[in-house]
Amino acid sequence: LAKTTQPISMDSYEGQEVNITCSHNNIATNDYITWYQQFPSQGPRFIIQGYKTKVTNEVASLFIPADRKSSTLSLPRVSLSDTAVYYCLVGSTGTASKLTFGTGTRLQVTL
Amino acid sequence: GAVVSQHPSWVICKSGTSVKIECRSLDFQATTMFWYRQFPKQSLMLMATSNEGSKATYEQGVEKDKFLINHASLTLSTLTVTSAHPEDSSFYICSVSAVWGINTEAFFGQGTRLTVV
């Protein structure tokens, strides 16, 4: 399983765009990149998943360069409720595939 | 998406006793479920993979006799912490992975906070 590296923490003001970059130099050909969000005392929640280029859904965008050795989660116009820990995971998809969580990035949004 | 429910949400037990945590997949038949443990301010650590109808697969360093996992049906996996000690106090989370649209997503339970006194 590819190891991931993320900033430990980030701060942002409400209304700003937040970009969290994850490094995964050893990503394998069949690995996907998935981001999860976790609030205190709750289980993580899926945000977005991608393989290459750009993926966008109703809550975030995921940018993946051609070499796939990194990825950037982009949260547009964050609000206080986006304060959470964000995890970048890299691995093969499949319902029996294990997920390995790295340290995550603790995002603090303030007014 | 799949709905995963854990019970109880929190439990306090005395040192030396055993505690059972249930993980139910309410709307999805899961042949595989995963159990994680999370200490305060730390990341999730995978403990074991629960396989329906067969033995669980434990991660290195996780005692299988300490953390008993049973996955007797496609919708229920249980984790029993045997002879619990204060160092077992933690947040335990289960998950089920499912194909949802074009993605494979992990759906997590709300977690169980175990406090051993």
Scanning every residue of chain B, which has its alpha carbon at the shortest distance from the alpha carbon of A88?
A: B43
> If you search the block for the tokens 């005395």, which residue do you land on?
B14
In whole angstroms, what is the distance from residue B47 CA to residue A57 CA?
Answer: 31
Scanning every residue of chain A, which has its alpha carbon at the shortest distance from the alpha carbon of B93?
A: A43
Q: Please indicate if any CB of chain B lies within 8 Å of the CB of A7.
A: no
Tokens of A65: 């360069």
A105-110/A9-13 β-pairing: parallel
Q: Convert the pLDDT of each residue in B38-84 to its tens digit.
A: 999 999 999 999 999 899 999 999 999 999 999 989 999 999 999 99
Contact across the interface for A41 and B91, Cβ inside 8 Å: yes
Contact across the interface for B95 and A43, Cβ inside 8 Å: yes
Residue A59 has pLDDT above 70, yes or no: yes
User: Bigger pLDDT: A98 or A22?
Assistant: A22
pLDDT category of residue B95 using cuts at 50, 70 and 90: very high
Which residues in chain A belong to E strands, given as ranges? 9-13, 18-23, 32-38, 45-50, 53-56, 61-64, 70-75, 84-91, 105-110
Q: Convert the pLDDT of each residue in A61-87 to its tens digit.
A: 999 999 999 999 999 999 999 999 999
User: Bigger pLDDT: B114 or B31?
Assistant: B114
**What pLDDT score was predicted for residue B59?**
96
Cross-chain CB nearest to B98 (options A32, A44, A95): A95
B108 to chain A nearest CA, in Å? 5
In whole angstroms, what is the distance from residue B66 CA to residue B47 CA?
Answer: 11
